[in-house]
Structures are given as structure tokens and as C-alpha cells.
Amino acid sequence: MKQIRLLLLLITLMFGFTNIVAENHSSSGVNRYEKIVLQKSKNHGSIQRPRTPDKQVVTCLYDGTGLALTFVLSEGVANLTITDDSLFESNQVIDTSTLDIYVPTGELSGCITIKLETEKGNIFEGIIEDNIEF
């Protein structure tokens, strides 16, 4: 399992895969889901020197009833904020040490915004577009 994760991480880093990635599977309402890679926010206002690519990759899978988050590296305790177009908002504290976390949300509508602020001071953000229905 670790070898597969390392291989996927290497492939991701080789292609500079830092943009949001989406997969849509739809066949008459069966197996529909949306998966994105959360982007790490950059520090605005400070001069940044070139750095090596970040080893952390956070993926988020929405399955119609909740979010499954997967981390390559632990980020410690994190505050997770989820919002959608129907004014639903959820703030939860999660522990990323298990690397795989499932957060039940119920059915969300419209664009879903995900923000993750970690104990290590990193902020990851992503948007699941309003292009799929469950």
C-alpha cells in the first residue's frame, strides 16, 4: 500500500499536478461521485524563494452523503469547513493522523467549498463544481 502511494505521489510530482482534479462517474444515478485534490494556499504578501515540490497531497471524495479525505502525510489536528450553495456550513475538528478520514455531511447542493486549516499552519482549499447531481 505504501509503495502504491509513493508511486502515485511521484507521478503527481512529475507532472506538477497541483490543480484541482475532478472525476465524474455517471451512469443513470449509479456510482456518481466527485473527487478533487485540495490546493495548498500560498502566503500572499511575503517574498517566496523557489522551493521543492510539496510532498503533501490531500484528496477529497464527495459521494453524495459525505466527504472522504485522504492525506499522504499527517497534518495533525485540523479545522475543516464545508459550505454549499444552500447556505449549509459545517465546521469540524479532525485528526489527520489516520490519513483516511470520512466526514458525514448529508446531501449537499450546488458548489461545495472545502477549506482545511491544519495544526502545522497549512491551508488547503478546493471547490467541487455544481456539475453533478446525486
pLDDT tens digit sequence for 83-110: 998 888 999 999 999 999 999 988 888 8
pLDDT tens profile 63-79: 888 999 999 999 999 99
CATH superfamily, with its number, for domain 36-41+56-134: Immunoglobulins (2.60.40.10)
Confidence of residue 26 (pLDDT cuts 50, 70, 90): very low
How far, in whole angstroms, is CA 85 from its chain's centroid? 18
Nearest to 58 by CA among 77, 35, 38: 38
Residue 128 pairs in a beta bridge with 112
The whole-model pTM stands at 0.65
Under a CB-based contact definition with an 8 Å cutoff, are residues 21 and 4 in contact? no
Task: Assign 23 a pLDDT band (cuts: 50, 70, 90).
Answer: very low
Would you state the pLDDT for residue 28?
Answer: 33
Q: What is the mean pLDDT of residues 16-38?
A: 46
Instruction: Please state, in angstroms and rounded to a whole number, the distance separating the CA atoms of residues 101 and 79.
Output: 13
Q: Report the C-alpha dihedral over residues 123, 126, 32, 72, rounded to 10 degrees.
A: -30
DSSP category for residue 30: B
What band does 13 get if pLDDT is binned at 50, 70 and 90? very low
Average pLDDT over residues 20-28: 36
* Distance between CA atoms of residues 13 and 127, nearest Å: 21
Q: Is the pLDDT of residue 81 over 90?
A: yes
Say which residue, 133 or 117, is predicted with more confidence.
Answer: 117
